[in-house]
Structure 1
Amino acid sequence: MAYEPRSPIAIQISGENSPLLFTNKRFSQLSDTFADVNGWNDQDHEPEPDATQELKTLLKLVYPVVVTTALEFLPGFTCIILAGHIKSPHTQQYVDAATLSTMFMNITGFSVGFGLTSALDTLCSQAYGAKRFGKIGLYFQAGLLIILTCLGPVFLLNWYSEQFLLHMGQDPEVSRLAQTFSRWMLPGMPFVFLYELVRKVLQAQNIMKPLVGIAVVGNVVNIVTGYWLTYHTSMGFEGIALSRSLGNMVLPLLLIPYFCHHPHHLTQWWSGWHLQQAAGQVGLFLRLGVPGMLMMTMEWWAFELLTLMAGVLPNAVVAVSAHAVQVNVNNLIYMVFAGLAVASNIRVGNCLGANAPKQAKLACTVALTLTLAISSTFSVMLYVMRGEIPSLFLNDRESIERAASVLAVWAPLEVLDGLNAVVQGVFRGAGKQKVAATVNAVAYYVFGIPVAAVLGFYCVLGVEGLWLGFGFGIFVAASLQFYLLFKRWTWVELADDAQERTAE
């Protein structure tokens, strides 16, 4: 972890360094002063940006996010592994229940919370770029108010998830076990959402290092307590879910010693509770958060629909096996794209907030160029290794051959998947979640899923057809977003929007 967090901005007052830890009004006054001195409010005097320096800055942001994303992906695998090694005649039901519970909680809970908090991707990154640090604290409190409001419905849906799963045609015993699993996981959900809010705030300020360490400790707690509760106590299957909750609970708690050791990383943006002022930011937060939630849920639901369609194809066992290999490989690669998306979101948001449209455009261009190079490399690797990769997951020869065929079909589309992920990060940095959500709705549900169904069933292309159709949906999404970003809007307009947004 070579990236060093930013120190608080300080000014000379009476010969002393005084950090900007005052009221929001004081923040705004000082921010405006800095902006005028440095020429940030005058786009005509913005210096020409340096592409090499921008690439270095982007890379410093990318790799901590990729590592953190990979670590946050592990708890789901841990649950399945622990369930699969329980010595019981019901082991398969435990695995199915853990998988089903995780899927239902992702769709009805985590996608809602994570989607809503994506408003901070725009608000905090732009406020930091504009040096309006007091705004960051208000946005955080507004997000906290919204998340607390959403917790009730989310808890009810998952507490009584058995009935919903039964209506979806799931096995009664598996549905009952999934509900029990969800109930033990629910106590950790508020802690995850609180951590997500703080994480967004820190990422917007280019502070990445502590997040990696916290993710490591969270996984250690999850694995150690999971092993002990599952195999050495009477809890068994339920212990897996409780350990997941405990792992989630420690995430925000670990921020306490970090902030105690680095108090300026907290006091730079936190000046106490201002709930009345924060409530005034709820409307702005929701205008970005609700479309952000729709962006996420639409993509997640599209993947779930693809899985359901694979399950009703002819020779479903082979089709689902091949589909599962593709999903796992795609998820592993997507961690890199997710890191690039977050980095581009931060850089574009910071630059637009600083009223530097040229730098924002360069940040976008560098991020997309880097993504093109990385995704092209992955594409070639997938095609060349299409025969070997499935063997890491499967033993059946027919399933391996089918999975290899799917990888060959998907390999060139990996480039589009990467570019689409990163351009959506740019949209979040620019505050265009509503447009991106609309694009996703059209791309996935007007083009992607229908074309996948036609190719998979009518054209009898099977699981290869499903992924080819899904790739067409991604092509539509990426094409529309590239058109809007480079033809429909100007970076000066986006910078002006950011100035208006941070002034609200």
Structure 2
Amino acid sequence: MLPREHPNAKRKATLNTESIPVSRRPKVAKNVARVHINDDDQLDTRLFNHKKTRNEQVGLVQSFKKKKRNLHRHHRVINVSTQSDHVRSDFGKKSTEMTHLLESTAESTTLEMSALSVKEEAIQLLWLAVRLLLSYILDFIPDFVANVAIGRLSAVYSSKFLAAMSLSCTFTVLTSYTITMGIAAAMETLCSQAFGAGKLYELGIFFQTGLIVFVGFFIPICILSRFSAVILIALGQVPSIAYLAQELVLYALPSIPLQVFNVLLRKVLQGQSIVKPILYAGICGNIAHHLVIYILVWHTSVGYISCSIASCAMAACTTIPLLVYVIRCNVYVFRDEWKGWQFKECFRILPEFIRLGFSGLLMFLCEVWGFALISLLSGRLSDAAMAISASSIYLSFRRFNWIFYGSVAMAGSIRIGNALGANNPKKASLIAHITASSAVIFALVTSTLMHGVRFAYPMMFTEDRDVVDLTARLMLLTCPFQIFAGLTAAIQGIFQGSGLQNVGAKLNFAAFIVMTLSLGMLMAEQLNLGLLGLWLGMCCGMMFGGIYCIYWLYHVNWEKLALDAQKRTE
């Protein structure tokens, strides 16, 4: 039965907000990300005066629902509250560096693309990339200084010493450095996504798992290093140069455990966008390296072995300060989230760690093997010493180029991993496109630089005019392909942050092994281009990788990648 009619029932049945009690009025807060209205809530019984007519009650309900729909439409996206005086990450944790991170709540996925500031995200990405760039420069300088110092030891044997250094670096990359990079690939994906999901305690477990994996490979690495000369000779290298390379490999062996420990610490910190302590530790290591090189090369008779001894000193002086910083300062590893040594948990996640690490290792190996094949094949050309020396100098400049767009790729990997871990696929997509665009811009700069210093750069390493001319021709012919090198580096960083190292491994195998080897040998032998043909084959492979990068970015399902990241951090 309907309640009896109120005497004033003839007034218009419209919803006046003043008629709603204060406690039930829909309010819009200034500093909230979204206005929530529960559809199950009913109108307060005080809105329904028992003396109102049925028509008045229906009018009140319809009016209230209309206003509720308007609130949903009008307040769908509201700017989140401003940062407090100390910069906080969007995961609710204090950040030790002035870096804005990402939203961690599942509701962040509902942000519209129009609300994502491309400019703001680009600034944050490039600021992180600049700091990573500085750390990469600090990593590049020691090799550059060592090559220059060894090349100046003797005018007669400079080409031979440089060739030995090139072969020793190639062997080290194919053994110890390969394992290190596989561990780093798994750490990069897991740490960034775990931090994005706000699960800091998992970082320590990943750190311990990386140590366990390295211990299992260290003894085989030592055995291979002991017989490195035999292996190099079996691969067709000149015996005298192979034995010089073996000495360099053996003297550098003590630095390997320190380098692995350093990489593990760096990945834990980089996953949190913390880079400053890495820079400070790199400065300490560079100072130690340059002092050892200066003393041993110019004031002792140690000779070319000094570069391996200096690398050991640098590894120690880089790792120890970083470890002290992590322990003593208020950053994660030995903080509240550190639960001690958890071998049971380490072995539980070991299959996933190995899967990501092995895929990342294959991705890294295919690229490195492509460059290593060029060094090995150049040793089989008619003038092996000149070809290896020119290839070594050119490759050192390529490494210098890589630190520019490689730093952008690394920054993109970290930010994408954080976004996917925070269940924000739209932001991950935005970061991926900014990463690829920024890498192309950096590649254009390095391409111009390569053209401008093609004669001056090789003259810093050697006075052999034939080596200088060959290197200059090589830099001139390959500088236009740096754009594709930048795109290839960008897509690899995106794969790392997304946990798609297996896709990157397939791409790198096709680009750096199949195309480089087949086209390089074709142009080197059939077209008689020699070393130029080998490197042009590599450029064709990078062109293929760059084109695939563009295709992949426009066809990837970011929602699925975000879901995979959530499962990975459970």
The alignment's TM-score, normalised by the length of structure 1, stands at 0.85
CA distance in 2, matches of 1:10, 1:444: 39
Return the offset for 1:402: 4.7
CA distance in 2, matches of 1:93, 1:200: 37
1:274-285 maps to which residues of 2 (within 5 A)? Answer: 274-285=342-353
Contact 1:127/1:136 (8 A) holds in 2 = yes
CA distance in 2, matches of 1:220, 1:249: 12
CA distance in 2, matches of 1:456, 1:242: 37
Contact 1:125/1:204 (8 A) holds in 2 = yes
1:126 aligned to 2:187? no
SS of structure 2 residue aligned to 1:131: coil
2:420 to 324, 330, 352: 352
CA distance in 2, matches of 1:98, 1:460: 27
Aligned equivalent of 1:61: 128
1:449 to 512, 517, 523: 517
1:426 aligned to 2:491? no
Residue by residue, what CA displacement relative to the aligned partner does 1:424-480 show, whole Å, maximum 9, x if unpaired? 100000000011101111222222220122122212344333322211111222333
The AA in structure 2 aligned to 1:252 is T
Contact 2:232/2:242 (8 A) holds in 1 = yes
Contact 1:61/1:343 (8 A) holds in 2 = yes
SS of structure 2 residue aligned to 1:493: helix
1:327 to 392, 395, 414: 395
SS of structure 1 residue aligned to 2:569: helix
1:185-196 maps to which residues of 2 (within 5 A)? Answer: 185-196=252-263
The AA in structure 1 aligned to 2:215 is L
Aligned equivalent of 2:110: 44
Residue by residue, what CA displacement relative to the aligned partner does 1:32-57 show, whole Å, maximum 9, x if unpaired? xx98xx64256335673111110111
1:247 to 314, 334, 356: 314
Return the offset for 1:381: 4.4
1:443-482 maps to which residues of 2 (within 5 A)? Answer: 443-482=511-550
The AA in structure 2 aligned to 1:290 is F
- Worse overlay, 401-410 or 442-451: 401-410
1:437 aligned to 2:505? yes
Aligned equivalent of 1:370: 438
Residue by residue, what CA displacement relative to the aligned partner does 1:125-182 show, whole Å, maximum 9, x if unpaired? 0111111111111111111111111111111111332322232333444433433332
1:287 aligned to 2:355? yes
CA distance in 1, matches of 2:146, 2:455: 29
SS of structure 1 residue aligned to 2:236: coil
Aligned equivalent of 1:14: none
Return the offset for 1:90: 6.9
Across the aligned residues of Structure 1 and Structure 2, the Cα RMSD in angstroms comes to: 3.1
Aligned residue pairs total 477
The AA in structure 2 aligned to 1:431 is G
Aligned equivalent of 1:342: 410
Aligned equivalent of 1:213: 280
Quote the sequence identity (%): 29
CA distance in 2, matches of 1:128, 1:57: 17
SS of structure 1 residue aligned to 2:254: helix
The AA in structure 2 aligned to 1:63 is V
1:306 to 363, 370, 374: 374
Return the offset for 1:327: 2.3
CA distance in 1, matches of 2:339, 2:88: 17
- Worse overlay, 432-441 or 396-405: 396-405
SS of structure 1 residue aligned to 2:442: helix
CA distance in 2, matches of 1:77, 1:393: 9
1:490 to 554, 557, 562: 557
Change (3 A) 1:235 1:214: same
Return the offset for 1:331: 1.9
Aligned equivalent of 1:28: none
Change (3 A) 1:139 1:318: closer
Contact 2:151/2:462 (8 A) holds in 1 = no
The AA in structure 1 aligned to 2:142 is P
Return the offset for 1:302: 0.9
Contact 1:226/1:244 (8 A) holds in 2 = no
Residue by residue, what CA displacement relative to the aligned partner does 1:194-216 show, whole Å, maximum 9, x if unpaired? 11011011001000011111111
Query: Structure 1 unaligned runs (5+)?
Result: 12-17, 21-33
CA distance in 2, matches of 1:324, 1:237: 16
CA distance in 2, matches of 1:247, 1:203: 20
Higher RCO by CA contacts (8 Å cutoff, separation 6 or greater): 1
Contact 1:142/1:278 (8 A) holds in 2 = yes
Aligned equivalent of 2:290: 223
Change (3 A) 1:404 1:172: closer
**Higher helix residue share:** 1
Return the offset for 1:66: 1.2
SS of structure 2 residue aligned to 1:281: helix
Change (3 A) 1:162 1:380: closer
CA distance in 2, matches of 1:390, 1:10: 48
The alignment's TM-score, normalised by the length of structure 2, stands at 0.76
CA distance in 1, matches of 2:313, 2:458: 34
1:256 to 315, 323, 327: 323
Query: Structure 2 unaligned runs (5+)?
Result: 1-85, 96-101
Change (3 A) 1:86 1:390: closer
SS of structure 2 residue aligned to 1:186: coil
Aligned equivalent of 2:567: 500
SS of structure 1 residue aligned to 2:269: helix
1:411 aligned to 2:479? yes
Contact 1:292/1:433 (8 A) holds in 2 = yes
Residue by residue, what CA displacement relative to the aligned partner does 1:345-386 show, whole Å, maximum 9, x if unpaired? 001111111111111111111111112222223334444665
Change (3 A) 1:457 1:219: same
Change (3 A) 1:474 1:9: closer
Contact 1:112/1:297 (8 A) holds in 2 = no
The AA in structure 2 aligned to 1:440 is N
CA distance in 2, matches of 1:449, 1:271: 48
Contact 2:144/2:396 (8 A) holds in 1 = no
